[in-house]
């Protein structure tokens, strides 16, 4: 049977992802307005009791206390509000705190907002933000970027398990194909394996099409206590598992370059006592910041044996229509990766999928899903499990 649900998503909103003209305040406002409008039985903003804002840099001009700005834009100045920062996993951790807020009984209804505005931040500052989200002493100051770290992981993976280029390319081809079906995606353009493999080099063996882009965007979730969820909607999406993990910040301290142990720990915790096991999961939203990351995720989360994720991917199992669709919204690769918005956006996709509202990218009659959100090169990770109402 497993434990009862810990929380329920009753509304969700999402802006487009991409190089957008809107400023960060506007992106927050649009995502929250959509989330409020999506609550089918209606919600009074006055009943929102707390706000969790996930952002790395809030556009670079408001590094401190940005949560209060999000409360203003949500139409609730004065709301208890906190900014959550765990690099690219900020959204997953903000959701985890929201789950705890309602599961503990402290609140009935809370708001999670994920935001990043990256494209108009000057390059050196953006590089600095991303750089200080990895290890500063041994990596950033030596010139290693995130693409560089994941390039090392891909090279090591190939050394341990054999050629991986085709599988990496297939991850990009699949996620771009899914992105074509998502009107909010940064890239809505299909690519071929040949184009991906011949893409301009970024950090060997990774090229342009192995990388997520730099994106702007926001997403928002209304998270309720399960026993009050039906006040807001007949079809809540329940959160039935929440797990988190961390690891050494510097990759040189980790036990392996071909595993992200924080992901493994987060999945173990999420599945402990959950009402279903891995075999019953209908779709995954995993953190594919670089194509190699999707292969590692399938293995770290326990959906593939070690070294087997390439074969699984090349079999077509992870495509829409396959046995286990992965990243039906296009993933970070094609949907885009506005850092603080990503973990919230993954839950938004699951909210649509488990209510049968994902349109052209709907995964059949999906009932159970998993989201996986990684901080930087794997120093932090959060995993959530969801089931439809």
Site of interaction with ligand COA (CB under 6 A): 88, 130, 146-147, 202, 208-209, 211-214, 289, 337, 376
What's the distance, CA 226 to chain centroid?
23
In this complex, which beta carbon is closest to ligand COA, that of residue 260 or of residue 347?
260
Q: How far is the CB of 10 from ligand COA (least distance, A)?
A: 31
Residue (337 or 384) nearer to ligand COA, CB: 337
Q: Given the complex with ligand COA, which of 310 and 338 has the nearer CB atom?
A: 338
> Minimum distance between the CB of residue 382 and ligand COA, rounded to whole angstroms?
15
Q: Specify the length of the chain in residues.
A: 389
Active site residue 212: no
Smallest separation, CB 135 to ligand COA (Å) = 13
What is the spatial order of strands in the sheet that 7-14 belongs to?
Answer: 81-84, 50-54, 109-116, 217-224, 7-14, 237-246, 380-388, 368-375, 283-285
- Dihedral, CA atoms, 157, 158, 164, 165, nearest 10 degrees? 110
Q: Output phi, psi for 176, to 5 deg.
A: -65, -40
Least distance CB 338 / ligand COA (angstroms): 10
Minimum Å gap between C-beta 234 and ligand COA is: 38
Q: Which residues contact 300 (CB under 8 A, 6 or more apart)?
A: 259, 260, 261, 263, 264, 267
**Given 14, 176, 287, 337, which residue is catalytic?**
337
The one catalytic residue in 88, 211, 212, 289 is: 88
Phi, psi of 210 (to 5 degrees): -90, -5
CB closer to ligand COA, 288 vs 349 = 288
Dist CA 113 CA 53 (whole Å): 5
**Token pair in block for residue 14:** 């999402």
CB of 225 to ligand COA, least distance (A): 33
**Using CA atoms, how far apart are residues 93 and 53, in angstroms rounded to an integer?**
10
Please write down the long-range contacts of 74-77, taking CB distance under 8 Å and 24 or more positions apart.
74/28, 74/29, 74/32, 74/45, 74/48, 74/111, 74/113, 75/32, 75/45, 76/45, 76/46, 76/48, 76/51
CA distance 386 to 223: 13
Specify the residue, 88 or 344, whose C-beta has the smaller distance to ligand COA.
88
Does residue 211 carry a catalytic annotation? no
Is-contact 226 113, C-beta < 8 A? no
Select 241 or 330, whichever has its Cβ closest to ligand COA. Answer: 330
Q: Name the residues annotated as catalytic.
A: 88, 337
């Amino acid at each position: 049977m497993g434990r009862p649900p810990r929380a329920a998503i009753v509304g969700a909103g999402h802006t487009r992802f991409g190089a957008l003209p809107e400023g960060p305040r506007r992106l927050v406002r649009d995502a929250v307005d959509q989330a409020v409008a999506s609550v089918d039985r209606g919600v009074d903003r006055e009943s929102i009791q707390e706000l969790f804002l996930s952002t790395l840099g809030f556009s670079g001009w408001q590094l401190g206390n940005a949560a209060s700005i999000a409360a203003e834009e949500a139409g609730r100045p004065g709301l208890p509000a906190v900014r959550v920062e765990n690099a690219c996993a900020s959204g997953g951790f903000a959701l985890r705190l929201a789950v705890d807020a309602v599961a503990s009984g402290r609140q009935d209804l809370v708001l999670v907002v994920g935001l990043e505005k990256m494209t108009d931040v000057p390059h050196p500052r953006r590089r600095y933000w991303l750089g200080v989200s990895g290890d500063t002493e041994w990596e950033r100051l030596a010139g290693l970027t995130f693409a560089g770290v994941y390039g090392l992981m891909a090279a090591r993976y190939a050394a341990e398990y054999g050629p991986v280029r085709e599988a990496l390319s297939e991850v990009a081809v699949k996620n771009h194909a899914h992105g074509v079906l998502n009107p909010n995606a940064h890239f809505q353009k299909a690519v071929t394996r040949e184009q991906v493999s011949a893409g301009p080099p970024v950090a060997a063996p990774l090229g342009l099409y192995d990388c997520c882009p730099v994106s702007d965007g926001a997403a928002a979730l209304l998270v309720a206590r399960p026993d009050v969820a039906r006040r807001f909607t007949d079809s809540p999406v329940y959160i039935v598992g929440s797990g988190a993990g961390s690891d050494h910040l510097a990759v040189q301290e980790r036990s392996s370059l071909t595993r992200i142990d924080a992901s493994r720990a987060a999945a173990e915790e999420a599945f402990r006592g959950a009402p279903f096991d891995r075999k019953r999961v209908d779709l995954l939203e995993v953190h594919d910041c670089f194509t190699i990351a999707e292969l590692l995720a399938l293995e770290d989360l326990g959906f593939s044996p070690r070294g087997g994720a390439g074969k699984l991917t090349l079999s077509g199992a992870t495509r829409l229509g396959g046995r286990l669709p992965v990243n039906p919204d296009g993933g970070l690769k094609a949907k885009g990766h506005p850092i603080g918005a990503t973990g919230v956006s993954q839950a938004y996709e699951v909210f649509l999928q488990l209510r049968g509202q994902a349109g052209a990218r709907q995964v059949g009659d999906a009932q159970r899903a998993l989201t996986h959100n990684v901080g930087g090169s794997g120093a932090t990770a959060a995993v959530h499990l969801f089931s439809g109402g």
